[in-house]
Chains A and B, each alone.
Chain A
């Protein structure tokens, strides 16, 4: 009987352990700029503060604020930032938005990372009538809210990254023009994490690649917590695929790429891999990312006149290179500042028409918004740069052709140099 009691305690304990792990504090922190006489304009940053993407959003926003304040601020007012941790959990995400809008009364929200979190936040953002500029999540559903109900959701904009459908287009271009056209591959296997943005992207990707005359041998979506990829690799190897295209953001691609290398899988790997955009990724996994080709939104290369000054300043200041949310946040602050200046006001109704007219060359390219407030993509606008990890740990752009700085190299075991 006592042991039965013990068993009950045991399960309650385990449940508690789960809850403890799942719940993180959503504490907000304030970074203030020097106050002018006028009340400051407050930028709320809802993001995943424990992740690199979140830390870069915060640091890059602070950097843009500092630069703008040094030139006198916006409309004679200084900018300041308030941060709230939205984690990767929709519930915490909604709490972060409510904290920023209801408690802190921010003038604009610049942040986001997880599509599922942003989607849960949108009704609350609309209720608060606060302008929101997304800088981290890719699901097309995010701006579809604006298309379906403009008057309610007109506050939502996405400056970064390009949405999953545009990402799919650029992956298709990479597959068909580069992998097939220049490297001669015919069969591709696609794997991705089982998340909203990949569910949106993978059917488009498969159809586009097949339309381009290649065959897709398999499409597998796996749980982001997966830690053993041997079964998946074995299936892909058996399928006869010649190239492994990945679509990853939240999943632990450190493990995936390591296991790909350790298994000496006889096919190169590449695609969207957000963790592999980190500057220390190669070093972090002991050099096993060698030859992985990664779609980057920003890379230390003069993509525009603003890319390298931003990159160098960020690196000097924070002792690391920025990831895409850093570049997106930095540009978004300037886009907002210019719109507010043109509108002569921070009132949402005045700023929205000005944001819609955005024509801004930032660190990643030319920013313009389409009718549903999504950033435009393609030649002349925001583009992916496909960069490959070379054996010395540097990244070399291999696609698109006009940006390419080097040749594509195969994994060392395929060339027999291992």
Chain B
């Protein structure tokens, strides 16, 4: 029971980090970014490169990795997405291309084998039946902090208000003089940075390999559909729902059954409530 409580919370925190960025860029810029998993992978690989190959200490490496991926997100938005924004299909294709490019580049640069990123905390906590590594607890804490900070940023700052305004009424926001392109770049940077942070935090217990972007992409996608496209509270709720459902299934039935949970949730959502749990009906 304690296992389910703690490991479910860790999984949910990782899912929330993946999903909020994905839903944010969709809600604000209407960009379906299928390279979101590549941000996650790029964060982890950058951290591996800096620590494993260049010998940097972990903390500066992690920070530089997150900043690098944020800059990568901005560059991708500026040079690849923005010129194609008039066509949703073209944006979709270019983001898939970036995701595939990421995988192939990692294959070529680092090979197909899994790579190691050191953990921030090596200790293990035991309490009754529970044995949990410090790195997982750190991921849980950092996940909660990141999502809370994002919430405060959007609801309590001027820039956050501009982001909200753009997501609610693009034309109205433009009339008010809000610089849409600059805001899109900021949102892409935030989205990429949060995904990269998830990659850096989970890499020590999941390792790093070229195809690591696909599963997080599917999870982010499933959560956003269940929670409601464009809704951050919906994503957090769905992350908790899927994180805990998967953990319960893993403990009660078998870990082999976990992957089907999110797919069933997506199917049920589309049949019963196509707009998602907290999505506006208009959003779908």
Contact = CB atoms under 8 A, between A and B. Distances in A.
Q: Do A and B come from one complex?
A: yes
Interface of A: 3-7, 9-10, 13-14, 16-18, 20-21, 50-52, 194, 220-223, 225-235, 237-238, 252, 254-255, 258-259, 262-265, 275, 278, 284-286
Interface stretch (B180-188, B232-240, B250-258): B250-258
A262 B100 contact: no
A284 B89 contact: no
B115 A284 contact: yes
A232 B124 CA distance: 17
Contacts of B250: 228, 230-231
Top 7 nearest A-B pairs (CB, nearest first) are: A254-B114, A231-B250, A262-B133, A13-B92, A50-B112, A263-B131, A264-B124
Contacts of A264: 124, 126, 131
B206 A255 contact: yes
Contacts of A50: 107, 111-112
Given A6-B88, A231-B250, A252-B114, A17 B255 contact: no
B205 A255 contact: yes
A7 B284 contact: yes
Interface string B189-229: 00000000000000011110101001101100100000000
Nearest to B92: A13
A303 to B, nearest CB: 25
Given A50-B107, A220-B254, A284 B114 contact: yes
B96 A20 contact: yes
Interface string B1-31: 0010001000100000000000000000010
B169 interface: no
A232 B207 contact: no
Nearest to A221: B256
Contact of A258 (B89, B103, B205): B205
B118 interface: yes
Main secondary structure of the interface of A (DSSP, over half): helix
B96 A228 contact: no
Contacts of A229: 255
A291 to B, nearest CB: 16
Which of B206, B209, B215 has the most chain A CB atoms inside 10 A of its CB? B206
B284 A231 contact: no
Given A51-B112, A52-B113, A227 B215 contact: yes
B284 A4 contact: yes
Interface of B: 3, 7, 11, 30, 32, 34, 88-89, 92-93, 96, 99-100, 103, 107, 111-116, 118-119, 122, 124, 126, 129, 131-133, 135, 204-207, 209, 211, 214-215, 217-218, 221, 247, 250-251, 254-256, 258-259, 282-284
A21 B113 contact: no
Given A227-B206, A262-B124, 8 more contacts: A10-B32, A18-B214, A51-B112, A223-B256, A230-B7, A231-B3, A231-B251, A252-B209
Contacts of B34: 13-14, 17
A316 to B, nearest CB: 20
B207 A254 contact: yes
B103 A226 contact: no
B255 A226 contact: yes
B116 A262 contact: no
Contacts of B218: 14
Which of A223, A238, A255, A262 has the most chain B CB atoms inside 10 A of its CB? A262
Contacts of A223: 255-256, 259
Contacts of B251: 231, 234-235
A17 B3 contact: no
A233 B133 CA distance: 13
A287 to B, nearest CB: 9
Contacts of A234: 3, 129, 131, 251
A206 B68 CA distance: 50
A222 B135 CA distance: 24
Contacts of B131: 233-234, 237, 263-265
B215 A284 contact: no
Main secondary structure of the interface of B (DSSP, over half): helix
A264 B122 CA distance: 11
Contact of A3 (B112, B124, B247, B284): B284
A225 B113 contact: no
Nearest to B253: A231
A33 B86 CA distance: 55
A232 B257 CA distance: 12
A228 B11 contact: yes
Contact of B255 (A9, A228, A255, A285): A228
A233 B124 CA distance: 14
Nearest to B14: A228
A291 B250 CA distance: 28
B255 A222 contact: yes
A15 to B, nearest CB: 10
Nearest to A262: B133
A227 B32 CA distance: 26
B255 A231 contact: yes
B253 to A, nearest CB: 9
Which of A231, A264, A265, A286 has the most chain B CB atoms inside 10 A of its CB? A231
B3 to A, nearest CB: 5
Nearest to A223: B256
B256 to A, nearest CB: 5
Given A20-B96, A264-B126, A222 B256 contact: yes
B124 A6 contact: no
A284 B113 contact: yes
B92 A262 contact: no
A231 B7 contact: yes
A285 B118 CA distance: 9
A358 B116 CA distance: 43
B96 A3 contact: no
Contacts of A228: 7, 11, 206, 250, 255, 258
A221 B254 CA distance: 9
B255 A232 contact: yes
Contacts of A252: 114, 207, 209
21 contacts: A3-B282, A9-B32, A14-B221, A17-B99, A17-B100, A18-B214, A21-B211, A21-B214, A50-B111, A222-B255, A223-B259, A231-B247, A237-B131, A238-B129, A255-B206, A255-B207, A263-B124, A263-B131, A264-B131, A275-B114, A284-B113
